[in-house]
Copies of this chain bind each other. A is one copy, B any other.
Amino acid sequence: MTRKKVKLAFITNESARKGTFKKRKKGLMKKVSELSTLCGIDACAIIYSPYEPHPEVWPNTLGVQRILAKFKRMPEMEQSKKMVNQETFIRQRIVKANEHLKKQHKDNREKEMTSHVPMFDWERA
């Protein structure tokens, strides 16, 4: 039951960070490729890193330039809508985590009537 938990934070160990970067970049490129193929959609990814002098991209330079041009054509106002931005993403994860915790609390209470010790600030109040 004890699970290995990868802390979602900057990896301070240099070699570990480089190793993780290499592996995850590969996995990410694969994911973009698969999404594009499976769903027939237009997508691109650009990754800058200290390990390469140039950004690594998917699918290729022309593909990125085409999307870049398309993106620039979109009016500024429109660009602000429907974005999957970091803040929204984090909020969603917090909401889900919270819901999951609540469910567990409920299950626990039902099973053993134990009280819950809050693990996060947002659980208080």
Those of A5-62 within 8 Å (CB) of chain B: 6, 8-11, 17, 20-21, 24-25, 27-35, 37-50, 52-61
Contact status B25-A28, CB under 8 Å: no
Q: Determine how close the nearest CB of chain B comes to the CB of A14; give it in whole angstroms.
A: 11
Q: Determine how close the nearest CB of chain B comes to the CB of A63; give it in whole angstroms.
A: 8
As for how many copies of this chain the complex holds, the number is: 2
Find A34's partner among B24, B38, B81 (CB 8 Å cutoff): B24
How many A residues have CB within 8 A of the partner chain?
Answer: 62
CA distance A60 to B84 in the complex (A): 7
Find A27's partner among B9, B11, B31 (CB 8 Å cutoff): B31
Q: Determine how close the nearest CB of chain B comes to the CB of A28; give it in whole angstroms.
A: 5
